[in-house]
Structure 1
């Protein structure tokens, strides 16, 4: 499989596309005016404790207070108590936090919609191959490394390095890209993380609340650190200035990738050359066409995302069951790709076309799970429910592509539909009656959109005449070009 990372940089934003076999799989966007916060560490101050929710709001210097749940709160008094073999009962958040208390917190989710950032006190600092867990004691290995011998080799190496390098207690997590690396690479990472954490602690010691004491790398370098692996064949950067930054970072932290980085100097924009712009536009649409003629419809709401699979124009060649199976198998691949591309997270409900054959259901589920294996976000998929639905979750840490690039429609305010002109006319008639009964006036002036006025003068002209006769006063119509179809005003004169 051919895999390429395309990096498009302008002063306003950085965009990175992950392309596999010429097909866009993921896109990352970071704008200068709205940088991501995930991974940043702040000196926070508890502004409000909510015992009923087992949570607290913490001021970290943002417009909205950030949210800290009790499950994300490390017991700050744990080190003062003697060790016990019994599992301690969870303490209420009121016993752990007080309003005005200062604590070091890390952002695990960017602000999403009307919600503030999500925080944790379980701090982590990542590098290329390792993740430092300050104050931790365990050594973990990424579950994506499946070979047990390799897992044990990595765990043993890290344990030896911790004993020789770290002069205080820390835990470490071995990342997926560490598979097959030599001890020297892990040693460099551990020295780097130890020094970095010492710097963070020094900054935190003198920081005031709301001050950032650690920032994760910018998007361009973060993607290079996290996604660049032996599977990536080429990294193309369209900015000569940023090419130097990428090369310098690669030489220091990802030396095996240095030879695969190149400058794109073509006249045609790099995203146009690979068709990325068109794919981004398609990812903002509800309907995704399948090659067979079927289609998949995505509806994103605040609570969850629903995915509906339809045969559409595909009529098949053999029988109904085979037609349904082929459509569902194709849809499973498309859904997995679109979840990555659109960066949809949280609860996701997939309504595949109903299948009677249990073997067909099994094939579709395996196809979906296999397609999700390449997803860098953590996913969990349940079996087909009794209603024929597939429930799954996908970890969400940043805004979806739609929320980054779009805003709610000012006309429908995000509903996705408008009242018909007929409905508005009948609402208008009721309002005229209210105004006529409440006020003594010579006439009534109606201000409305062009479509509503046209309907009042055409299809509803007889009804309007009856209404004028009933209230015994004329109704004058006036078009307001700035009004939406749902807006109108009734003014007694």
Structure 2
């Protein structure tokens, strides 16, 4: 399979989407089971208990509670508009923020962050000028507090489609921002797997969109490989990716390669594939990598490879660096549930 292919199907009866680039699985989204709040959902909530020691406040949602990392200017009983920022772990409050984003395929409306911005990835000055005109026209008469971002997927798209997208996101934002009275209520549903794929995998545009192709295209086998802790690397090496309660442990091994450069080769291969593996597995938090033995002088090379590998990642990642024991630490934002948790017992049966 050559090219960029989006596959929409179901996995264990739940909507799912896979992004395959040149035959390799690059991203996978699966709707969780049940009524869990999806990232991006917007709620009207009521402030409950201030937790100053934790730097936040619990808020009442229609079902359960959320945790907002903010206390300034918030009093118990206050009505707030919040957006879910990520998945909630079992038994914990849903993480939310008051910084709302109204995202679609081409436009993002940003309340509280005024301005008209065009994606930096669009370099053509004529195209940028046309998009700036569309942005100004689409936001004419809107509140000065409403900002707009036009995404890189706008390049090469009909102006009418972009204008309609801007209008839809602006209307939605204005309606939600005006709806502050009443008790806890869901105002905007979070995007499911297939909607997120349509919205976020548009740049670059896929060469093909296939419905119902998981089995025919071998996606099910690719998913089985993702659920395996062992990842084969280019060459003779491999790495083991194993979550614990406290952190995520990654161990890189050279396998049968005993040449002097074996350690560096395996480590470079692991560093290049690590962002994809974390994305597919839905893993984040504190991550500790035990790279294969190599001379200290080679760490600078590996640092460059890691920075390049994580540069284009949508999930916020902080490359902390080397510890005294020679381990490498990084922190990745949890932007989705772990794939093994989403699939649950069904995944265990599939890999047994």
The normalised TM-score by structure 1 is 0.63
Q: Which residue of 2 aligns with 1:227?
A: 201
The Cα RMSD (Å) is 2.9
Q: What's the counterpart of residue 56 of structure 2?
A: 55
Judge which range, 124-133 or 288-297, deviates more: 288-297
- Structure 2 residue 239 is matched with structure 1 residue 296: yes
Secondary structure of the residue aligned to 2:68 is strand
Cα separation, 2, equivalents of 1:363 and 1:375: 20
After superposition, give the CA deviation of every residue in 1:251-279 in whole Å (9 maximum; x if it has no partner): xxxxxxxxxxxxxxxxxxx3232222222
The equivalent of 2:24 in structure 1 is: 23
What aligned pairs does 1:437-476 form with structure 2 within 5 A after superposition? Answer: none
**What residue is the counterpart of 2:153 in the other structure?**
177
The residue correspondences of 1:101-140 to structure 2 (distance < 5 A) are: 101-140=78-117
Displacement of 1:236: 0.4
1:400 aligns with 2:335: no
Q: Which runs of 5+ in 2 are unaligned?
A: 346-352
2: CA distance between counterparts of 1:296 and 1:346? 19
Residues 291, 11 of structure 1: alpha-carbon distance in 2 compared, 3 angstrom cutoff: closer
Shift of the 163–117 alpha-carbon distance from structure 1 to 2, 3 Å rule, reads closer
Find 1:344's aligned residue among 283, 297, 302: 283
What displacement does 1:159 show? 5.8
- What's the counterpart of residue 350 of structure 2? none
Distance, in Å, in 2 between the alignment partners of 1:147 and 1:350 is 37
Q: CA deviation at 1:113?
A: 3.1
SS in 1 for 2:85: strand
Q: Deviations over 1:40-88 (max 9, x none)?
A: 111111121122222110011223x210111xxxxxxxxxxxxxxxxxx
Cα distance change, pair 195–3 in 1 and its aligned pair in 2 (3 A): same
- 1:202-227 CA-to-partner distances (Å, cap 9, x unmatched) read 5x245x32211111343212211111
Go from structure 1 to structure 2 and tell me whether the alpha carbon gap of 1:380 and 1:184 turns closer, same or farther (over 3 Å shift): farther
Q: For residues 401-446 of structure 1, give each alpha carbon's deviation from its aligned partner in whole angstroms, at most 9, with x where no partner exists.
A: 1221236xxxxxxxxxxxxxxxxxxxxxxxxxxxxxxxxxxxxxxx
1:188 aligned residue: 164
Matching residue of 1:470: none
The residue that corresponds to 1:424 in the other structure is none
Partners of 1:155 and 1:228 in 2: how far apart?
A: 17
Q: Looking at CA atoms only, which structure, 1 or 2, has the larger radius of gyration?
A: 1
Aligned counterpart in structure 1 of residue 224 of structure 2, from 269, 281, 289: 281
Of 351, 355, 362, the match for 2:300 = 362
What CA distance in whole angstroms lies between the structure 1 residues aligned with 2:17 and 2:44?
A: 31
Answer 1 or 2: which has greater helix percent. Answer: 1
Change in 2 beyond 3 A, CA 1:49/1:388: same
Please name the residue that 2:39 is paired with: 38
Partner of 1:328, secondary structure, is: helix
Of residues 192, 197, 212 in structure 2, which corresponds to 1:218?
192
Q: Secondary structure at the match of 1:115?
A: coil
Of stretches 322-331 and 364-373 in structure 1, the one that deviates more from structure 2 is: 364-373
Partner SS state of residue 164, structure 1 = coil
Equivalent-residue separation in structure 1 for 2:140 and 2:164 (angstroms): 13
Indicate the structure with greater strand content.
Answer: 2
Change (3 A) 1:123 1:163: closer
How far does residue 387 in structure 1 lie from its aligned partner after superposition?
3.8
Corresponding position: 1:324 with 2:263: yes
Structure-1 separation of matches of 2:40 and 2:80: 16
8 Å contact 1:165–1:191 — kept in the other structure?
no
* Deviations 1:1-28, CA, capped at 9 Å, x for gaps: 6111111137931121111111112211
Aligned length: 344
Q: Contact 2:37/2:190 (CA < 8 Å) preserved in 1?
A: no
The answer as to whether partners of 2:116 and 2:132 remain within 8 angstroms in 1 is no
Distance in 1 between residues matched to 2:119 and 2:245, nearest whole Å: 31
Instruction: Give 1:146 deviation, angstroms.
Output: 7.6
Higher relative contact order (CA 8 A, sep 6+): 2
